[in-house]
């Protein structure tokens, strides 16, 4: 049976990130994608021109409608945008503790443009951490969630992961794609096990939506029944292939999207 996977995230009209990227990833990995929209953005490959948050009550209504009708096998969370939306999502997910949840704690676009108002990081720690299976922050997001400086070494990334577990997350994958080097290293910690997931760094400027795609791919593999370590490993392999094929697309004048369907086209 094809598993149903839910994205709770914003809309990127360029298709490189957010719910469109998530649903492409779900489809490429043999899942049926559903989506709850938390924010509308005016953006392209060069940046974000504006953002309109969906009222928290309507985010909750979308979730209620889906959970009342569709068997959800896994959830991926992206942009939430406000503390009220964080609380609404956490309340609904707390009713379904059997569903694995992957949180990509997006606080800004890859261009640096903000995608949240107020102290969303604090709301994530207070409300979402107890219901999330895995959180996948990049270095800046991890440092903000941990109230710590940006790490300069792999050991520093591991320390950040440990701090986030102490702050309430069950398991953490700090992604190191923004760090220079010949390999892309992501560090994992679940309170017991530390592990570094490494992959060759792909030479391309088309990296828009990499974090969205990685977290969506982990959720898709969890929906297929893989354990967390295997899901992360498989997701990194998928993202590496999508990055390697990204230059085959011609989307926009800035950093373009990954090629989500590189295995199929």
Instruction: Tokens for 35, please give them.
Output: 């989506």
- Inform me whether the pLDDT recorded for 74 exceeds 90: yes
- Model confidence, pTM: 0.96
Instruction: Tokens for 74, please give them.
Output: 């896994």
- Report the alpha-carbon distance of residue 169 to residue 53 in Å, rounded: 26
Q: Give tens-digit pLDDT for 16-73.
A: 999 999 999 999 999 999 999 999 999 999 999 999 999 999 999 999 999 999 999 9
Q: Give tens-digit pLDDT for 121-176.
A: 999 999 999 999 999 999 999 999 999 999 888 999 999 999 999 999 999 999 98
For residues 201 and 183, the answer to whether their CB atoms sit within 8 Å is: yes
* Per-residue confidence (pLDDT) for residue 107, from 0 to 100: 82
* Per-residue confidence (pLDDT) for residue 78, from 0 to 100: 97
Chain mean pLDDT for the chain: 94
- CATH 3.40.1190.20 applies to domain 4-248: yes
Which residue in 237, 207, 233 sits closest to 222, CA to CA? Answer: 233
Average pLDDT, integer, range 188-214: 94
Q: Name the region of 28 (left: φ>0; alpha: ψ -120 to 50; beta: rest).
A: alpha
């Amino acid at each position: 049976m094809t598993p149903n996977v839910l994205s709770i995230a914003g809309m990127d009209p360029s298709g490189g990130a957010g719910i469109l990227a998530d649903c492409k990833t779900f489809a490429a990995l043999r899942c049926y994608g559903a989506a709850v929209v938390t924010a509308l953005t005016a953006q392209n490959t060069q940046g974000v021109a504006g953002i309109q948050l969906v009222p928290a009550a309507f985010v909750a209504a979308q979730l209620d409608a889906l959970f009342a009708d569709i068997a959800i096998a896994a959830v991926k969370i992206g942009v939430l945008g406000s503390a009220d939306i964080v609380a609404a999502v956490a309340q609904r997910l707390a009713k379904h503790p059997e569903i694995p949840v992957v949180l990509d704690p997006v606080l800004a676009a890859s261009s640096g443009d903000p995608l949240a108002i107020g102290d969303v990081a604090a709301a994530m720690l207070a409300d979402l951490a107890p219901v999330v299976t895995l959180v996948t922050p990049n270095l800046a997001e991890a440092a903000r969630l941990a109230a710590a400086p940006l790490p300069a070494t792999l050991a520093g990334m591991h320390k950040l992961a440990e701090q986030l577990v102490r702050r309430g997350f069950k398991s953490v994958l700090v992604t190191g794609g923004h760090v220079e080097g010949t390999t892309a290293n992501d560090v994992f910690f679940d309170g017991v096990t530390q592990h570094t997931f490494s992959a060759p760094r792909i030479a391309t400027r088309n990296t828009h939506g990499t974090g969205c795609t990685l977290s969506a791919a982990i959720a898709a593999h969890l929906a297929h029944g893989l354990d967390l370590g295997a899901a992360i490993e498989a997701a990194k392999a998928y993202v590496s292939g999508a990055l390697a094929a990204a230059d085959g697309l011609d989307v926009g004048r800035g950093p373009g999207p990954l090629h989500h369907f590189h295995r199929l086209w």
